[in-house]
Structure 1
Amino acid sequence: MFDSPLSASPYDVLGVASDISEDDLRRAYRAKLRETHPDTGGDAAIFVQVQRAWELIGTPEARAAYDRGRGAPTTAPDATATSGWRAPSSRPDTRPRARTHGQPGGWRRERYLNLIREWAGRGVDLEDPYDPQLVRSAPLDVRRLLADALAEEASARIVADLGMGYTVWHDVAAAGRGSNPDDKLDHVVLGPSGLYGVLSEDFGGPVSFRRGEITGAHVPGAPITELLGRMRVVARAARVRFSGAIVVLPDEDVAQAITELGKIRGMPVVVVARSALSTVLRRGVSGARDIGGNEVFDVRTRLDQTVTYV
């Protein structure tokens, strides 16, 4: 929860200063619990944030540990990154993996590196562009680029583990080569349950839903509307039909793991917590059109022949 470049610190969540006394911290926590409890009209996602904040700084030992490593992230990006924010090394995984194309989060990570160096005013000699303190002090639009890149990389790792029955295309251009790189689909996933356009996001806080759209204090634009528009562009170019649309968010930013929004502009849409992504891709989205037999091969071939990358 507090490892996103956009997330507030546990002190911010509880609305207190970092040098607050233990007694005052406990009182602030209890007040926040009452204020955000769903049974009294509070927001369930914020209620979870308050509980998580207390886990991190609610005891002298936990608070001291947090303060010593304050700002250090625990969610890592792709291990191919040049420095910082790394995933722990592990033994090679020899299980069959999904067929993948493109670089998840590649454009946004590259753009982040350019902007953080420009903002820091040190050019290419910036020692560590992923230093936690540097990241958290950067402008919001710069931090958002990194947060989105991390979100896309996290989803890509999950999809890759689904196995050889799945094919995924990352960073798919949705307006032709050379167009605005923001006009893209984060992931296009083809598997036994259907063909899905997938948006991986991190808005930096809890979200809610209103009239088939995602809303929240830090949600820019109309994410679902924009996702469906990009899916239509790719579908027309490749002459394929999508089964549904999936929006993937950090677990702590949604009140429940799977939220079916029904059909929006004729397309079934579901918002999922990241930990539920594999479940949804395996079982499919309610109301989604089935794909089977030779159609899977045909769809894969059409996408392979037409997809371009940002």
Structure 2
Amino acid sequence: MSESPAAASPYEVLGVTPSATDEELRRAYRRKLRQSHPDVGGSAASFHAVQLAWERIGSPASRAAYDGARYPGATDAGGAGRAAGPATARSASSGVKARMYGHPGGHSRQRYLALLREWAGRGTTIDDPYASDLIRSAPREIRHRLAKALAEEATAQLIAGLGIGYTAWHDVATRDDVEKIDHVVLGPAGLFAILSEDWGAPVELRRGELVGDALEPGEEPLADFAAAARILAKSLRVRFTALIVVAPDEAVTEPFSLPSRGRRAMVVVIPRSRLVGVLRDGIAGMERGSFEKVFELRSTLQNGIRFVED
């Protein structure tokens, strides 16, 4: 079971509320175990999820530990409301890092906090917006916003370690009515637009679009991403080498791609552990950039990119 804030909690897997009694929890577990068993039409994945949920909250001790835990990484990470701006990352211990501009995850964290306050109700005081019990009780849409912020921050950390030959812009604005681009990365292998995501469950490619249990019917993340990248590329008068969707390793076990078509660049969906390799070496079928183009494009991007407002 994923630790992502967007993932179904053990209570949701068992179909009970966090206030359920121990006896209600036990009955729900037995019922879900019967319903999800592969011998009666269930799936191995759902059967395993039920067993894992019971391991998490089945005993009073494990339930207390789960209820009292805090989500790893769910902290303000240096001030989510900070305005986007240049911030070349340097570290005395690890040498010069990639040039970084903007505030990765900042907009998604602000959206999370705004949605959380709206859901809690006007006048309600929220002492800790990252308390696990509060996050788990929030609707999936709100939890997904926090998961996305954490995903963007994790991607930015990997990009920062690529070295001085790379430049990255985070939370890049496209158009008022179109979603932002999470990251734009320029390096020797090319120019990439990156979408960092965590839906809390595995996704797969079907008929040119991502599908999964955590995606709403009609949701088209690849189409929306491609449309935003197309708008940005046109406004900057640049061409992306590829569009990259980065998801947690447990959500995408193996990379898959859509070839370029018309004005749409190649789309690659990869687990997070593969991102550094793709940005450094490219991927099969991907047109590689040139060292000279990096210098030509950097000033164009620096002068033309605008950041989303929190």
2:159: which partner in 1?
A: 159
Q: 1:36 aligns with which of 43, 46, 51?
A: 43
1:32 to partner: Cα distance = 5.7
Comparing 62-71 with 160-169, which one deviates more in the overlay?
A: 62-71
Cα offsets for 1:5-59 (capped at 9, x unmatched): 22112464477897338x959966993699435xxxxxxxxx3x86577567549
2:181: which partner in 1?
A: 185
Quickly say closer, same or farther: Cα 1:300–1:62, change in 2 above 3 A: farther
Do residues 170 (structure 1) and 170 (structure 2) align?
yes
Equivalent pairs counted in the alignment come to 287
How far, CA to CA, are the matches of 2:211 and 2:196 in structure 1?
Answer: 15
Quickly say closer, same or farther: Cα 1:62–1:302, change in 2 above 3 A: farther
How far, CA to CA, are the matches of 1:26 and 1:137 in structure 2?
Answer: 21
Quickly say closer, same or farther: Cα 1:92–1:67, change in 2 above 3 A: farther
Residue pairs, 1:13-52, within 5 angstroms = 13=13, 19-20=25-26, 31=37, 35-37=42-44, 47=45
Q: Per the alignment, in what secondary structure is the counterpart of residue 104 of structure 2?
A: coil
Which AA in structure 1 matches 2:291? G
Q: Per the alignment, in what secondary structure is the counterpart of residue 162 of structure 2?
A: coil
TM-score by length of 1: 0.78
Q: Per the alignment, in what secondary structure is the counterpart of residue 187 of structure 1?
A: strand
Cα offsets for 1:250-303 (capped at 9, x unmatched): 22222x232233335542111111222222222213322221122111111110
Structure 1 unmatched ranges of 5 or more: 38-46, 83-90
2:306: which partner in 1?
A: 308
Structure 2 unmatched ranges of 5 or more: 81-90
Do residues 289 (structure 1) and 296 (structure 2) align?
no
Cα offsets for 1:225-268 (capped at 9, x unmatched): 111111111112222111001111122222x2322333355421
TM-score by length of 2: 0.78
Comparing 153-162 with 260-269, which one deviates more in the overlay?
A: 260-269
How far, CA to CA, are the matches of 2:304 and 2:234 in structure 1?
Answer: 10
2:254: which partner in 1?
A: 257
Please give the root-mean-square deviation of Cα atoms over the aligned residues, in Å. Answer: 3.4
How far, CA to CA, are the matches of 1:278 and 1:96 in structure 2?
Answer: 17
| 2:245–2:270 contact (8 Å) kept in structure 1 | yes
2:97: which partner in 1?
A: 97
Residue pairs, 1:1-310, within 5 angstroms = 1-10=1-10, 12-13=12-13, 19-20=25-26, 31=37, 35-37=42-44, 47=45, 58=55, 64-65=61-62, 67-70=64-67, 72-76=70-74, 79-81=77-79, 93-121=93-121, 123=123, 125-175=125-175, 179-180=176-177, 183-220=179-216, 221-254=219-252, 256-265=253-262, 266-310=264-308
| 2:170–2:181 contact (8 Å) kept in structure 1 | yes
| 1:186–1:199 contact (8 Å) kept in structure 2 | yes
How far, CA to CA, are the matches of 1:139 and 1:60 in structure 2?
Answer: 20
1:77 to partner: Cα distance = 5.1
1:88: which partner in 2?
A: none
Q: Per the alignment, in what secondary structure is the counterpart of residue 251 of structure 1?
A: coil
Which AA in structure 2 matches 1:192? P
1:2 to partner: Cα distance = 3.4
| 1:173–1:309 contact (8 Å) kept in structure 2 | yes
Quickly say closer, same or farther: Cα 1:101–1:28, change in 2 above 3 A: farther
How far, CA to CA, are the matches of 1:297 and 1:230 in structure 2?
Answer: 24
Comparing 2-11 with 198-207, which one deviates more in the overlay?
A: 2-11
| 2:204–2:211 contact (8 Å) kept in structure 1 | yes
1:195 to partner: Cα distance = 0.9
Comparing 156-165 with 69-78, which one deviates more in the overlay?
A: 69-78
How far, CA to CA, are the matches of 1:306 and 1:228 in structure 2?
Answer: 19
| 1:26–1:58 contact (8 Å) kept in structure 2 | no
How far, CA to CA, are the matches of 1:115 and 1:61 in structure 2?
Answer: 31
| 2:70–2:130 contact (8 Å) kept in structure 1 | no
Quickly say closer, same or farther: Cα 1:293–1:57, change in 2 above 3 A: same
How far, CA to CA, are the matches of 1:52 and 1:184 in structure 2?
Answer: 34
State, as a whole percentage, how many aligned pairs show the same letter.
41
Which AA in structure 2 matches 1:20? R
